[in-house]
Amino acid sequence: MTQFDKSDDSVVVVIGSGAGGATVAHELCEKGIKVVVLEAGPRFTIDDFHNNELAAYQQLTWADKRYATGDWPAATLAPEGPNWIVKAVGGSTIHWNGLSFRAQPHEFKARTVYGDVDGASLADWPITYDDLDPYYSRAEDKMGVTGTHGIERHPPNNNYKVLYNGAKRIGYKQISNARQAINSEFRDGRGACIQMGFCNQGCKMGAKWSTLYSEIPKAEETGNLDLRSGCMVLRIEHDKAGKANGVVYVDADGVEHRQSARVVCVAGNSIETPRLLLNSNSSMFPDGLANSSGEVGRNYTRHVGAIVFGEFDKPVNMHRGITVPGTVFDEARSDPSRGFAGGYLIEAVSLGLTNLAVVGDASGWGKDYTSFLEKYSHLAGVLLNGEDMPRSQNGVTLHDTERDQYGLPIPVIHVEEHDNDHAMSKHFKGQAEALLGAVGATKMHHVVTAAATHNMGTCRMSADADKGVVDGFGRTHDVSNLFVSDGSQFTTATAENPTLTIVALAIRQAEHIAAEMSAKNL
């Protein structure tokens, strides 16, 4: 395995190995650039995965303590575990569902299109859809997204058939079981999906794209990657000129190290990335590294979410097949006549019986709820994935007194939900019940999603250095050789699942970094 000296100041240090971090690392390694990836969690293999919901959750989840405050469901239902992300090589690409949608052109201009939404901190992205278009195509090819590049889509399972037929009957037209980064046939050294239905637990077939067994091994094959797992980064250091020059971390044995760096890319998710920048304060950056604007940690979004399950007279067996097998796109448009700004996706969804029992309705245990669970084989579910309104007060701060096992202040994630989110959720619930009812659902059950799996914002892109943290390439406005490479960059949430956009941005960012290094600007 390749190892670089810790005093080697020619390397690019990437913090985090998920969709953004590992993609940046792989792209740079392919260009002959030396990269050190520091990952807080362990490195698993496909053989280590469990087709067991509880065991997989305990194995993979970033369970370090954090607090949720505000009025969002996490603050009351899961205050010490508000975000479901993975602490392992591959990050949350291990447990994501594979949905790979492009953001829409109008969503890059949310402030212009939606106008002044009272109580929201909407802004336009400093890039356009056209800027990202070629990188979306490269990301789709890299990830093996069905319905693109001649890749066959998956056969419809029963849960998708419920969604499709119900949607058609209530007038929806844009319905598809494509755009999934899950192999429908052997491709890129990865097996084909056999429809086991354990998409959230780590794919035992390697059919679902994950940087764990895709980008990381490919980068290692170049001889330019030094991957260090079990290494928790404590702070980023800088020189007298304010340029990042090293990263301090603790290894799995508790030993502290310092890795010198030419460039640093932070890809720790929208919680750990701002937390690290805030913890990397200094006399030059008293409020946190790259935080002269005061925007680090602000404008956190996580998508508006809810699930409606319909109960049917005959078995559906929604658990058989891909967990989120298809999507309705009609409501993703911008149409303020519905009573809210932005749009949303309606996605067919299955929860395993264990997960459904745990998160379905913690306050509703009793005869009605257990009767609902007994009908598991007769259920079909539809999920809301909606554009969350950014708010300046929503975000990540450091706890005043409580510390983690490394002595760092734990993160506090505060969310005050916007009225727009409530209006969108209400609209979805009406449409979801109509959709399920149109194909014979006899009863409906509503589920509140507590832990956030789509975490965005907190280091948003902006053209103006006073209004954001990074520019259109993810380079921080304050520190010229410090980049943010994950969903923290998102200026707004968009209605689409974020991973494809994260990967497209990472490919574009790596191209920019390589060019700037070649020109001696970095």
Residues β-bridged to residue 208: 182
Between the CA of residue 392 and those of 263, 286, 451, what are the distances in Å?
A: 29, 20, 21
Q: Average of pLDDT values for 412-422?
A: 98
Between CA 384 and CA 402 the distance in angstroms is 35
List the structure tokens of 122.
């909407």
List the structure tokens of 180.
């999934």
* Identity at 126, one-letter amino acid code: P
Class in CATH terms, 12-518: alpha beta
Residue ranges of domains in the chain: 12-518
pTM across the whole model:
0.98
Q: Are 215 and 258 in contact (CB under 8 A)?
A: no
List the structure tokens of 318.
């929604």
At 70-92, the pLDDT tens digits run 999 999 888 999 999 999 999 99
pLDDT of residue 448: 85
Model confidence at 23, pLDDT cuts 50, 70, 90, reads very high
Q: What percent of the chain has pLDDT over 70?
A: 99
Between CA 395 and CA 411 the distance in angstroms is 10
At 147-192, the pLDDT tens digits run 999 999 999 999 999 999 999 999 999 999 999 999 999 999 999 9
Between CA 469 and CA 477 the distance in angstroms is 6
Q: Are 200 and 245 in contact (CB under 8 A)?
A: no
Model confidence at 363, pLDDT cuts 50, 70, 90, reads low
Closest to 394 measured CA to CA, from 439, 449, 452, 433: 452
The upper half-sphere exposure of residue 208, i.e. CA atoms within 13 Å in the direction of its Cβ, equals 30
Between CA 265 and CA 273 the distance in angstroms is 10
DSSP label at 117? -
Phi, psi of 182 (to 5 degrees): -130, 120
At 466-506, the pLDDT tens digits run 999 999 999 999 999 999 999 999 999 999 999 999 999 99
pLDDT above 70 for 237: yes
Tokens 């029963």, located at residue:
158
pLDDT of residue 354: 86
Helix, strand or coil, per DSSP, at residue 93: helix
At 306-339, the pLDDT tens digits run 999 999 999 999 999 999 999 999 999 999 999 9
pLDDT above 80 for 360: no
